[in-house]
Every structure is written in C-alpha cells, then in structure tokens.
C-alpha cells in the first residue's frame, strides 16, 4: 500500500531473520545485562564498605592494649582507646533528638495530612522538604554561632529547676553539650520523620475516617481511632529512619560539641563525642594507628546504622503486606 | 440554631461549627481570639513577675496558656470531648510553627550575617595568602571544587542509578531484585562519613594515592546513587504499562522501548530527581574531610592534588573565632543555601513543566 | 500480504493456572474474525498469544502450536520482536505515546526499527493516516501532540501507528470499548476497509459489533471461576448469530447469561 516500500529488516515472508542464535536480540541482552549488573553493583558496594572498613580496622584492634568496648579514652596512637564514650555520646544525642523530634514530626504530619487546607498543605510540605535540603554544615554553623548563645539560658533554666535530676545536673557554663547537639539533630531529622509519617497518614483508607466521623467522633477522636492505629508501623519505621540519620550525623555535631572522652550523666555539661564527629575531628591530626582506630569506630557506626535501617525497612515492608494500602 | 433538634442541612463534618444537641453550645467565633489575647497578657504578667521578660520566652509561655484557656472554655461550654479536640488542634498548629521556626532562623541568620560579604570579589577570588585572621579573600576555589566534585559524583551515580532503576522496574524479578530494592533502601541510610571512610580505605589506602577532588566525587556518588535510584524508580513506575505494550506490539525490541518510549515519558521526573539528589550532596562535608585534602588555592584539576569545596570552607572557617573568618563562613553558607535553593526550585519547575498532561 | 493463522492444541498458563485450554482454529487471510465471550473466558489472553504479547505478562507461557502461513510462531529461533512486526496489535484503551507528535506517533514503529529517511517516512505516515481514515482531520497539525486528540481519534491514530509498520495481521483487543458510539462507528468502518489488506482478529464484548464487522465468529466460554477458558464454537458470523450449533452459544448470544 505504501508508495515506497519500507526497507525494514524484515522480508515479508520470513519471521525470524533478525534472530540471534538464542532467539534473544543482542541489544536486549546487553541492556538487560548491564542493568542487572548495576543492580548487583549496589550489593557489591554495600559488601565492600563493610569489608574494606574491617580490613583496615584490624591493625588498631590488634595493637590496642585497652578493652575496646569499655574504654572511654580515645588515644589510639598510644594504644589506649575504646568506643564506650563515643557510643554513649552517639546514643544520648540521638535519643534526645528522637524525644524532641518524633512528637513534633507527628504533629507536622497530621497538620499537613488532616488539618491544613489543601493548598496550604502543599506549600507546607514543600517547606518541610526545604528544611531537609539545608546542608548539615550550615546547621552546624548555625548551632555553633547562633543557637548556642540563645539556648544557653534555657539550659541554665533547666539546670536551675531540674538540676536535682542527674541528667540535668552539673554546672552549665557552655552550650557545647550533648543537649544542644540533640536539639540540632532533632531539627535535622524532623523532615524525614515528618515526611514518612505524612505519607502513611495520607494512606489511611478514607472509609475508616468517614466511619469514625459518621459515628459522631470529633476530629481528634477520628485521628486517635482511625489514623494513629493505622499509621503506627509507619511512625515506628519513620522513627527508626530518623534514628539512623541522627546516629550518623557528622559535621553539625563536630562543630557544636567540645569533644571529651568521658561518660557524663549530665547532658547539659560541656563535652561528649560521637562516632561520626570524632572521625571528622580527629582524622587530620592522628597517625596511622589512630586512623585505623577511627576506621574501626566507623565500622561500628556502619553496622549500627545498617541494623537500624534494615529494621525500619522491615517494619515498613510488613505493614505493606498487611494493609495492602500501597501498591 | 440554639435549640433546634431537627437534622439540618449543615455539614456535620466540622463538628465544632454546629451542634445538634441542645445542651451544648459551640464556642463563639470571637472566643479563641479573645483567649489568645488573654494568654499573651497572662504570660507577659507571669514573666514580669518572675523578672525574665523577653519576646521568645513570652511566645513560648503563651502557647500552653492559650491551649489551657481554650481547653477550659471549651470544656465548660462544649464538653470535654470538644475540649480535647480543640487542645489537640492547638498542639498540631504549634508543631508546625516549631518546624518553621528553625528553618526561618537558619535562613534569616545566614542572610543577615552573610549577605553583606557576598560580593563579586568574594565569588571570584581564592583564600590564597590570606590567613584566618586576615580580612578579605573569597571562595572561588571552593566553587570550582564543589562544581567539579559534584559533577564527578553525578557522572558516576546518574548512569548507574538509572540502570539500577531500569533493572528494578523493567527486568527485576525474584530474590535478586528484592535484595537490590532492600539494599538501595538501606544504602540511603549509610552515614556520609562512612562513605568517606570507604573511599579512604578502598582507594586512598588501597592504591596508596593522595587526596584529590575526584575521590571526594566518588564518595559523594555513593550517597547520591540510592537517591537517584529511588526517584527514577518512582518515575518509571508511573509510566503506564499501555505505552510499553504499544511499543512492543509495534515490533520494537524491549531495550529500545525502554530507551525511546519509557525514559522520555518519565524524563521530567527523572531530571527532577537527579537535581534533588545533586542538591542533597552539594552540601555534604564529612566525606570530603577524609578524601579531598584541603587547600586555599585554586585547583582546576580534580585529578591532581587537594581541592577546596564550599562545605569544607564553611567547616574550616566556622571553627575560627576571628570575625573575618566568621564573615566568610556565613557568606559561604549563604552561597551554598542559594545553590541548594536554586537547584530545588529549578527541579520543581521542571517537574511541573514536564508533568505528563494527558494520563 | 495478509496471512493465514493456524492454531492447534494451544494451552495458555499463568504460572500453574491454566487460563485457556486446547484451542484449535484456523483464521483465514483477508477476513475479520471476532472473538466473543463472557469476561475472564481467556479470549484476550488467547489473542495475545497470536503475536507473543503474552510474554510481557510475568509468568505467562504457552503450550501448543501457532503457525502463520505455515511458519511456527513459537519455533526455536523465532524472535518475538520479528513476530510482532508481522502481527500488529491495537489495544483496548487508546495509548498514543504522550511525548510524541501525531506524525512521530505514526512514524514511531518505523523509526525505532531503523527507518530514518524523511521522504520515505512522510509517505508512509500519510498512507497510514489515510488508511486509518484520520488524515483529513489531522493533516494540518501533524506536529501537535498525539495525546491532544479525542478518544476516537486517538484510537484511529493507534491503528495508523500499527499499520505503518506494514504487518500482515492486525489484532484488536476491544478497540472500541473506551469510545463513544460515533467513534465506534468510525472504527468499524475502518475495520471493513482494512480487511482488504490485512487479516484482522478482534476481541469484543459487543455482540452487535461482532455481527456487524466480522466474517467469522468464535465463542469462548468458561465453565466456572478457576476453570480454564475454552473455544466452544467457531462458525461464519451469519450462521453463528442465527443457528448456532451449541446451546451455550445460543444462550450467550440471546443474552440469557454472561
């Protein structure tokens, strides 16, 4: 029918002229192979991270003369180091961050999903995304040069009134404390927790909500009976994702904390250190064994965040199976 | 409205707006405003009595007082259930204010302290020969380093990320695909310092080489990869299956279908995702501390010798107490925020402009 | 250039579930064959096996034999891509490529298969659009997006796109079910014209449509949910709609079930 017959690589009587030996085209084989290769590459990278850190951590672990788990001091160049103080600082600052961030993040998520008018909600969701886009070094700068002077009176006030509780005890004369670090971490992990919660809250079946409202529930009762129970696994995994971020945050903490290697019950007193911040701060000044010890502490951090993140993903995956709410 | 028992046509979705029950009365519209004024007054009085009146504290104290007043008034007039609802509403709005506050504070502080130093001179000169206590200098060397390092990261992460996403959406099935999905998710949680340590151990120690810009780019690419994969995957999933079938039914091979039909259809979203992933790594500092070294001079060659970058300049200057160093830190921070902001805005713009219209 | 299709002993499986059982039929060249039957009876699934589009569905596989002018569709070294160039397909929902203009949509199959010469493409685009009876409506706006057309025009665009690669056989999977009656009529006219050149197989839920457009009708049925679909009866359309030989066919056609 065409005026000029198209010179397709297909004679009109033969089906399989362009076939290759296996019946699959070369282009498809290459493309499929390289995309699968890229997928495998991801697995290889994850395995390589663990392997390389382990290999380079071994020298310092074998030469260390102190117990690596219980020693608070961190002086690897003299073979006297451990991760006790780092682990404590990392954990405490992250817990403070979670305590402050999770309730506020749930509030934000509810605000966007159920309280704000629709058009406003879109803008507000964007604002929360922007908060997530601010680089951590800028939060560090802000924390060091702005927040610390404004938060010091508040820390003093807490110390004055609640100093009888060991956590808030001690003498407060600088804001370079785990508490300040925790506050900055809270701000930094707020967006991720809020974003995951918001997504889960928006997936609550409309029928559940309307059923609650039809029974005469107030908006809060509807949220308590329909939204929060449905969203609980989402809140848990969002919290764990936030925890993973907080545990691994480096530069903001490095800028804010005045490092010291001692476990101090008070979160308001100056000092403390975390795995990540310690690596960034000490890396430049330390000798070879020292770097190996830093790598060892980095390996511990990697494994902890790996576990936390895997846990978070597992919770999300389970919820998907049960609710079938998201395809 | 006060005593009717008849079911009215009023929407009952907003329980506080109308009540069908005669014994409860809704809070009059002016009441919350009056209570807000009262709350502010009370908190000012309270702080005056304690002798520690200042604006932030007054705001902080007013909110719980306001919540308490609204709760009390509502409990009195509408019953405790409504009261709880109103208190929660106040709490939720407060949460949102709490999220905006730090963002505004960071932005305002950075602009206030950085804007006056962000001059053309600052953008076009390096720090060479200028000590931390001296005035002047600029971030030209950092801009070059950041652009090159992020560029290298994108050159590595974007093609691999696109391929992984294609694998997951178009080919992947079974255990391998599940493992890849899972570890891409887990990879998003790898701390940035660990990415830096990995490049340090695998490349710098492994090959006995010295810090260079390219190694920083490599470390950044590890952080960028999962973000590119995730966003691209979402976009490819949005492409209707109809289009793949239409193309396959024309006798187009699968790989050509993906490259010529599926990817172009999703291109807007893919570009947006890539730009957002660039915005995410452009401010990363920790991996660079371990991999690119430090210099105060201009180095155009990312493959030779240490290279500066914007985040590293902020990190370095922030520690120094000299007011000139502070000025430089804030001005650099402002530059970085502007870059991130522009990337975000352009990305959203592309997303809106390229959004598939007919679906 | 139209071709005869022979199907013998064909079974289609989704994983371990048998969706279509033991189909034997012959489809004549230059004719329209309609597949009718209740939802889920496997007629669309079977249609897809005629150009190996079922392979796109994860887990689907086929046993049995399909030959086109004597050549085995499932032969060892037959490339499914080559099969689909010979046996084109039009889908239920119009699916023009949203990123392409009207012209590019029609030219897509040729371009992606390596035809680059503009003069050659121009000619084929025009004849294909004329063949789909769309030329007069769009000839002044070939560079506009294909997605901007109405539903019926989009479907005719998809037909033009399918015939542009010059297949021998055209499969149509409920091509009018998403269209209004006027657009449906236009497509039906089109089918009548296209059968001069192509072997056409059409799946439809609309029995009037089957009666109007087809020369031969095949009735598929399913014994119950979870059971495989079967070819019950195949006969010239006038006989099928007047004196079907199977009770089930008569019940279905007269609207007593399905």
Q: How far is it, in rounded angstroms, from Cα B304 to Cα C55?
A: 52
Residue A109 has pLDDT above 50, yes or no: yes
Does the distance separating the beta carbons of B247 and C81 come in below 8 Å?
Answer: no
Q: Pick B336's closest partner by Cβ from A10, A30, A138.
A: A138
pLDDT at position A9 is 42
B94-98, B122-126, C52-56, C244-248: least confident range: B94-98
Mean pLDDT of the region C8-14: 91
CB of B356 less than 8 A from some CB of C: yes
In chain B, ranges of CATH 1.10.3720.10 domains? 124-354
Tokens 């990278």 label which residue? A45
Residue A54 has pLDDT above 70, yes or no: yes
Does the distance separating the beta carbons of A280 and B283 come in below 8 Å?
Answer: no
pLDDT at position B194 is 96
Position B35 confidence tier, pLDDT thresholds 50, 70, 90: confident
Does the distance separating the beta carbons of A138 and B283 come in below 8 Å?
Answer: yes
Residue B10 has pLDDT above 50, yes or no: no
CB atoms within 10 A of CB C64: 16
In chain A, the percentage of residues whose pLDDT exceeds 90 is 49
Residue A5 has pLDDT above 60, yes or no: no
Mean pLDDT of the region C150-161: 92
CA dihedral C224, C229, C233, C236 (to 10 degrees): 130
Q: Pick A1's closest partner by Cβ from C77, C127, C165.
A: C127
Residue A296 has pLDDT above 60, yes or no: yes
pLDDT at position B314 is 95
Q: How far is it, in rounded angstroms, from Cα A123 to Cα C257?
A: 53
Q: What rounded mean pLDDT belongs to chain C?
A: 89
Element (H, E) at A101: helix A84-110
The answer for C40, left when phi > 0, alpha when psi is -120 to 50, beta otherwise, is left
Question: Which residues on chain C are in Cβ contact (under 8 Å) with B251?
Answer: 81-86, 88, 109, 113, 165, 167
**Domain boundaries, position A258:** 90-284
Q: How far is it, in rounded angstroms, from Cα B26 to Cα B17?
A: 7
pLDDT at position B79 is 80
Does the distance separating the beta carbons of A306 and B15 come in below 8 Å?
Answer: no
Tokens 């030219």 label which residue? C107
Residue C254 has pLDDT above 90, yes or no: no
Output A125 or B342, whichever has higher pLDDT. Answer: B342
Residue A13 has pLDDT above 80, yes or no: no
A86-90, B54-58, C153-157, C231-235: least confident range: B54-58
Residue B4 has pLDDT above 60, yes or no: no
**In the B/C pair of chains, how many CB contacts fall below 8 A?**
79
Q: Which residues pair with B178 in a beta bridge?
A: none
Distance from CA of B121 to the nearest CA of A (A): 22
CATH number for the domain whose boundaries are B124-354 = 1.10.3720.10
First to last CA, chain A: 46
3-state SS string for chain B = CCCCCCCCCCCCCCCCCCCCCCCCCCCCCCHHHHHHHHHHHHHHHHHHHHCCCCHHHHHHHHHHHHHHHHHHHHHHHHCHHHHHHHHHHHHHHHHHHHHHHHHHHHHHHHHHHHHHHCCHHHHHCCCCCCCCCCCCCCCHHHHHHHHHHHHHHHHHHHHHHHHHHHHHHHHCCHHHHHHHHHHHHHHHCCCHHHHHHHHHHHHHHCCCCCCCHHHHHHHHHHHHHHHHHHHHHHHHHHCCHHHHHHHHHCCCCHHHHHHHHHHHHHHHHHHHHHHHHHHHHHCCCHHHHHHCCCCCCCCCCCCCCCCCCHHHHHHHHHHCCCHHHHHHHHHHHHHHHHHHHHHHHHHHHHHHHHCCCCC
Question: Which residues on chain B are in Cβ contact (under 8 Å) with A142?
Answer: 105-106, 109-110
pLDDT at position A2 is 39
Those of residues 172-231 in A touching chain C at CB distance below 8 A are none
Q: How far is it, in rounded angstroms, from Cα A123 to Cα A116?
A: 10
Q: Kindly report the CATH number assigned to the domain that includes residue A279.
A: 1.10.3720.10
CB of A296 less than 8 A from some CB of B: no
Distance from CA of A4 to the nearest CA of C (A): 7
Mutation for testing the A interface, residue in C166, C168, C170, C196 having most A CBs under 10 Å: C166
First to last CA, chain B: 47
Position B356 confidence tier, pLDDT thresholds 50, 70, 90: low
Q: Which residues pair with B53 in a beta bridge?
A: none
Residue C67 has pLDDT above 80, yes or no: yes
Nearest chain C residue to B242, by CA:
C95
Residue A10 has pLDDT above 90, yes or no: no
pLDDT at position A246 is 95
pLDDT at position B25 is 63
Q: What rounded mean pLDDT belongs to chain A?
A: 86
3-state SS string for A183-207 = HHHHHHHHHHHHHHHHHHHHCCCHH
Work out how many domains chain A is built from and give that number. 1
Question: Which residues on chain A are in Cβ contact (under 8 Å) with C159?
Answer: none
Nearest chain C residue to B170, by CA:
C56
Structural domain includes residue A75:
no
pLDDT digit string (tens) for C12-28? 998 888 889 999 999 99
Highest mean pLDDT among B31-35, B69-73, B289-293: B289-293
Q: How far is it, in rounded angstroms, from Cα B152 to Cα A225?
A: 50
Q: Pick C95's closest partner by Cβ from B246, B253, B256.
A: B246
Does the distance separating the beta carbons of B248 and C98 come in below 8 Å?
Answer: no
State pTM to two decimals. 0.87
pLDDT at position B23 is 52
Mean pLDDT of the region C190-219: 91
Domain C5-253 in CATH: superfamily?
Answer: P-loop containing nucleotide triphosphate hydrolases (3.40.50.300)
Q: What rounded mean pLDDT belongs to chain B?
A: 87
Angle at CA of residue C140, ends C137 and C145, nearest 5°: 85
pLDDT at position C257 is 64
Distance from CA of B156 to the nearest CA of C (A): 28
Mutation for testing the B interface, residue in C73, C105, C112 having most B CBs under 10 Å: C112
Mean pLDDT of the region C46-56: 91
Position A319 confidence tier, pLDDT thresholds 50, 70, 90: low
Mean pLDDT of the region C210-225: 90
Does the distance separating the beta carbons of A223 and B88 come in below 8 Å?
Answer: yes
Kindly list the partner chains of chain B, i.e. chains with 3 or more CB atom pairs below 8 Å: A, C
Mean pLDDT of the region B286-313: 92
In chain A, the percentage of residues whose pLDDT exceeds 70 is 90
């Amino acid at each position: 029918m065409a005026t000029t017959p198209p010179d397709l690589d297909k004679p009109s009587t033969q089906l399989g002229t362009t076939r290759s030996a296996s019946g699959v085209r070369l282009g498809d084989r290459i493309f499929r192979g390289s995309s699968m290769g890229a997928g495998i590459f991801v697995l290889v990278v994850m395995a390589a991270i663990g392997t390389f850190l382990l290999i380079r951590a071994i020298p310092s672990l074998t030469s260390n003369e102190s117990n690596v788990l219980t020693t608070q001091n961190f002086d690897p160049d003299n073979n006297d180091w451990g991760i006790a103080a780092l682990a404590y600082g990392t954990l405490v600052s992250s817990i403070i961050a979670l305590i402050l961030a999770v309730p506020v993040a749930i509030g934000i998520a509810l605000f966007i999903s159920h309280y704000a008018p629709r058009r406003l909600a879109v803008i507000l969701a964007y604002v929360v995304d922007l908060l997530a886009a601010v680089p951590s070094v800028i939060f560090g700068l802000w924390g060091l040069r702005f927040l610390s002077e404004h938060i010091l009176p508040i820390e003093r006030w807490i110390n004055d009134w609640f100093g009888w509780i060991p956590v808030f005890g001690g003498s407060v004369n600088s804001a370079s404390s785990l508490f300040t670090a925790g506050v900055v971490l809270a701000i930094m992990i707020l967006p991720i927790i809020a974003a995951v919660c918001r997504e889960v809250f928006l997936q609550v079946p409309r029928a559940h909500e309307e059923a609650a409202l039809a029974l005469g529930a107030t908006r809060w009762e509807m949220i308590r009976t329909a939204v929060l129970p449905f969203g609980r696994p989402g809140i848990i995994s969002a919290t764990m994702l936030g925890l993973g971020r907080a545990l691994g945050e480096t530069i903001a903490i490095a800028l804010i904390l005045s490092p010291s290697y001692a476990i101090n019950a008070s979160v308001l007193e100056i000092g403390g250190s975390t795995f990540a911040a310690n690596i960034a701060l000490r890396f430049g000044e330390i000798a070879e064994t020292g770097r190996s010890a830093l790598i060892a502490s980095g390996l511990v951090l990697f494994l902890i965040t790996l576990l936390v993140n895997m846990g978070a993903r597992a919770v999300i995956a389970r919820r998907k199976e049960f609710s079938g709410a998201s395809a | 409205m006060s005593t009717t028992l008849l079911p009215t046509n009023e929407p009952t979705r907003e329980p506080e707006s109308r009540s069908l029950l005669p014994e409860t009365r809704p809070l009059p519209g002016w009441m919350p405003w009056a209570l807000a004024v009262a709350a502010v007054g009370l908190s000012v009085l309270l702080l005056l009595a304690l002798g520690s009146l200042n604006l932030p504290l007054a705001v902080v104290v007013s909110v719980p007082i306001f919540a308490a007043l609204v709760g009390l008034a509502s409990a009195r007039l509408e019953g405790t259930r409504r009261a709880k609802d109103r208190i929660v509403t106040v709490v939720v709005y407060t949460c949102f204010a709490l999220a905006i506050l730090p963002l505004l504070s960071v932005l305002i502080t950075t602009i206030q302290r950085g804007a006056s130093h962000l001059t053309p001179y600052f953008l076009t000169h390096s720090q060479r020969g200028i000590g931390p206590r001296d005035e002047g200098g600029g971030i030209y060397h950092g801009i070059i380093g950041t652009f090159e390092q992020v560029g290298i990261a994108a050159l590595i992460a974007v093609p691999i990320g696109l391929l992984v996403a294609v694998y997951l959406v178009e080919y992947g099935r079974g255990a391998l695909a599940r493992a890849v999905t899972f570890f891409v998710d887990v990879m998003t949680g790898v701390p940035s310092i660990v990415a830096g340590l990995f490049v340090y151990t695998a490349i710098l120690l492994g090959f006995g080489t010295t810090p260079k810009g390219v190694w920083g780019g490599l470390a950044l690419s590890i952080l960028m990869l999962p973000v590119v994969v995730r966003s691209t995957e979402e976009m490819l999933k949005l492409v209707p299956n109809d289009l793949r079938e239409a193309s396959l039914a024309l006798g187009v091979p699968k790989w050509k279908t993906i490259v010529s039909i599926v990817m172009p259809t999703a291109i807007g979203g893919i570009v947006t995702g890539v730009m957002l992933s660039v915005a995410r790594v452009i401010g990363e500092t920790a991996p660079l501390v371990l991999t690119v070294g430090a210099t105060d001079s201009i180095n155009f060659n990312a493959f030779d010798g240490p290279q500066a970058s914007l985040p590293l300049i902020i990190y370095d200057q922030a520690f120094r107490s000299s007011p000139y160093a502070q000025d430089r830190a804030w001005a650099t921070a402002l530059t970085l925020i502007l870059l991130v902001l522009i990337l975000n805005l352009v990305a959203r713009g592309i997303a809106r402009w390229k959004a598939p219209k007919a679906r | 250039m139209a071709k005869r299709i022979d199907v013998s002993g064909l079974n289609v499986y989704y994983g371990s579930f048998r969706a279509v059982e033991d189909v034997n039929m012959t489809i004549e060249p230059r004719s329209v064959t309609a597949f009718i039957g209740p939802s889920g009876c496997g007629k669309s699934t079977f249609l897809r096996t005629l150009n190996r589009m079922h392979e796109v569905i994860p887990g689907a596989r086929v046993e049995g034999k399909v030959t086109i002018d004597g050549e085995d569709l499932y032969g060892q070294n037959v490339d499914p891509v080559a099969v689909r160039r010979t046996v084109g397909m039009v889908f239920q929902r119009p699916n023009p490529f949203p990123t392409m203009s009207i012209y590019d949509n029609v030219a897509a199959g040729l371009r992606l298969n390596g035809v680059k010469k503009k003069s050659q493409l121009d000619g084929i685009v025009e004849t294909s659009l004329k063949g789909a009876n769309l030329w007069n409506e769009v000839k002044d706006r070939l560079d506009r997006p294909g997605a901007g057309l109405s539903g019926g025009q989009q479907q005719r665009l998809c037909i033009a796109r399918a015939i542009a690669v010059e297949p021998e056989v055209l499969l149509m999977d409920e091509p009018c079910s998403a269209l209004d009656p006027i657009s449906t009529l236009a497509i039906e006219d089109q089918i009548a014209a296209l059968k001069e050149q192509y072997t056409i197989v059409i799946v439809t839920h609309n029995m009037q449509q089957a009666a109007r457009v087809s020369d031969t009708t095949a009735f598929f049925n399913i014994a119950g949910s979870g059971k495989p679909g079967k070819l019950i009866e195949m006969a010239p359309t006038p006989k099928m709609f007047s004196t079907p030989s199977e009770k089930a066919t008569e019940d279905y056609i007269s609207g007593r079930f399905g």
